[in-house]
Amino acid sequence: MSRLLLTGNYAAAYAVRDAEPDVVSAYPITPQTPIIEKIAEFIESGELSAKFVRVESEHSAMAALIGAASVGARTYTATSSQGLFYMYEVVWWASGARLPIVMGVVTRALGPPWSIWTEHSDFYALRDSGWNMFFASSAQEVYDFTLISYRVAEDSRVLLPTLVGWDAFEVSHTYEPVALADMDKLRSFLPPKGSWKPLLEASEPGSLGNLAYPDEYIKVRLEMRRASERAKNAVEEALRLYSSVTGRSYWFFDCILCEDADTVFVVQGSVFGEALRAVEELRSRGEKVGLVKLWVYRPFPFGELGRALEGAKRVVVLARASVFGSLSPLGADVASALKLRETQAKLFDVVLGVGGVDVKAEDILGVYRKVLDDGERSFWWVR
């Protein structure tokens, strides 16, 4: 098992190389570009035998993969922010057509004003689209969850597209040591190529996506919902198997110091590092705090998270998304998990780090003070 010094974006490219897709299509956008540049290098050098379609827009990037996956190809693309929004229409087409496409989303704020720095609003915009959604907080996790995505997406019980999000610059452009998977073991983890039946074949003419009357439409949507429910088992199995293949263990989320915690922070992505520093600082002062890092966002682990947060008095969601007139998407999901479990915890929904604002442990300590004052239950933290 080799270790390389890689950025989050290069880690994604190495995972794609190791997953051996047939077709990659992409349109450049900051901060996604190093991924597709690296993949292009892998293809040109012969390290990866795949077709690279250099499309003229993100809309076409996803459309090209829909065309490719509909005849049975393994596929990849990556995008970010405005690009993801330009692609948005066809993102739904991919999931509605039940195609196991895999995508990287380097999370970046949306304009206006122009911003290239991280925020998760682009990622959350896909939460109802039917895609399985993972969030990575380090280059290692980008590598791992990109590979895990192929296993989940191509699982015959699932057949839904799958994406991995990670923070612009803080993860996308930061070098970290990344352990690559052993290729022989990886082959036993990834589904064999062609293990799922292509929807379109000349020998067996069928059609994909034609007009459906209401009674048929609802059946298609219901089947998709069931697939998404089955995805939870598929994710859990994939994570377990991945652990046995690589030794790195994941679950729907990581719960650190949660057992006796009165206050639990919930985070996604690169805020995790500083949040962990804040939690350790608070623990050293005798404060009973814990930290949840969420890896699996869709299907959302309502039951598992609700159970993990059962003993907490306060649950503080630190969400990196501009939200107006509502809770943050992560806050709303965590609130549902608490309610469904009928826990007594008070929910605090905090928006911070929007548009790439640096989040320090000190900020999180500040949030903690404000929460203990039992002030507002929903607020923006602006330094």
Partner 1 sequence: MAHRVFPREEYLLKGHAACPGCGATLLLRHVLKALGPDTYLVIPACCTSVIAGPHPRSAFKVPVLHIAFAASAAAASGMVEALDRLGKPGNVVVWAGDGGTVDIGLQALSGAAERGHNIIYICYDNEAYMNTGIQKSGSTPYKAWTTTTPLGNPGFKKDLPSIMAAHRIPYVATINPAYPNDILYKLRKASGIKGGLKYIHAFSPCPPGWRYDPSLTVKIARLAVETGIWVLYEVEDGRFSLTGPSRSLIKKENRKPVSEYLRVQGRFSHLTQEDVDEIQRLVDEQWERIEELISEEKK
Dihedral sign for Cα 194, 196, 198, 201, please: positive
Which two three-digit tokens encode residue 343? 């826990």
Are 77 and 24 in contact by the 8 Å Cβ rule? The answer is yes
Report the alpha-carbon distance of residue 1 to residue 4 in Å, rounded.
10
**What's the closest the beta carbon of residue 73 comes to partner 1, in angstroms?**
4
Q: How far is residue 182's CA from residue 325's CA, in Å, rounded to a whole number?
A: 48
Beta-bridged to residue 165, according to DSSP, are 105, 135
Spatial distance between the Cα atoms of 350 and 1, rounded to a whole number of angstroms:
40
Judged by CB under 8 A, the residue of 39, 61, 256, 308 near partner 1 is 61
Residue placing its CB nearer to partner 1 in the complex, 213 or 324: 213
Q: Is 70 in the site for partner 1 (CB under 8 A)?
A: yes
Q: Does 195 sit near partner 1 (CB under 8 A)?
A: no
Instruction: Please pick, from the candidates 13, 66, 78, 291, the single residue that binds partner 1 as defined by CB under 8 A.
Output: 66
Min separation Cβ 165 and partner 1, Å = 23
Q: Are 132 and 149 in contact (CB under 8 A)?
A: yes
Among 7, 9, 32, 60, binds partner 1 (CB under 8 A): 60
Task: Give phi and psi for 322, each to the nearest 5.
Answer: -75, 120
Q: What x/- string results for residues 73 through 92 when contact with partner 1 is judged by CB under 8 A?
A: x-x-------------xx--
- Please give the C-alpha separations between residue 92 and each of 56, 112, 126, 224, in angstroms, as whole numbers: 20, 24, 9, 12
Which range in 72-80, 105-113, 264-272, 281-289 contacts partner 1 by CB under 8 A?
72-80
- Binding of partner 1 at residue 210 (CB under 8 A)? yes
Q: Of residues 301-320, which lie at the interface with partner 1 (CB under 8 A)?
A: none
Distance CA 309, CA 228 (A): 24
Q: Which is nearer to partner 1, 161 or 165 (CB)?
A: 161
50 binds partner 1 (CB under 8 A): yes
Residues that bind partner 1 (CB under 8 A): 22-23, 25, 50-51, 53-57, 59-73, 75, 89-90, 93, 200-202, 204-213, 216-217, 220
